[in-house]
Amino acid sequence: MPNIFQLEGYHFFFFSNEGNPREPVHVHIRKDGHRAKFWLYPVCLANNQGYTGKELNKLAQIVEAHKDEIERAWHEHFGS
């Protein structure tokens, strides 16, 4: 499970096995037993398990602000 970064207690990561064929670039987020998944293009929620709407808005802003870093980590791990 490649870790991308942690921020405010949120853990941003992806899984080494992201489907076959591989899903488009996205990020998983985990904190306090809650989980979410965001697509990067466009940044939008794919799945939510436990976060409030307010938290999801905050997470979407964080993903948008770190989109380049997330995509770079994805391509470094999986290749182009």
* Helix 53-65 vs helix 67-78: crossing angle, to nearest 10: 70
In angstroms, the CA 28 to CA 50 distance is 13
**Could you state, in order of their start, the residue ranges of all structural domains in the chain?**
3-78
User: What does pTM read for this prediction?
Assistant: 0.94
pLDDT in tens, 18-73: 878 889 999 999 999 999 999 999 999 999 999 999 999 999 999 999 999 999 99
pLDDT in tens, 7-25: 999 999 999 888 788 899 9
Are 20 and 37 within 8 A, CB to CB?
no
Tokens of residue 69, six digits: 């870093």
Closest CA to 70 of 14, 30, 18, 20: 14
Q: What is the pLDDT of residue 79?
A: 85
